[in-house]
Amino acid sequence: MGDPMGLQDMFFGTMAGAAIVLMGASYALFFALGRLHQSRSMSAASLVSYVLLAAAAYVLVDALSLSGVWILVTTVMLVGYFLLPRAIWHLCVGTHAGESADTHSRATQ
pLDDT tens, residue by residue, 46-79: 999 999 999 999 999 999 999 999 999 999 999 9
Percent residues over pLDDT 90 in the chain: 72
Distance CA 25, CA 86 (A): 13
**Can you give the pTM of this predicted structure?**
0.81
The pLDDT, as a whole number, for residue 100 is: 67
How much helix, strand and coil, in percent to the nearest 5, is found in the chain?
Answer: 85, 0, 15
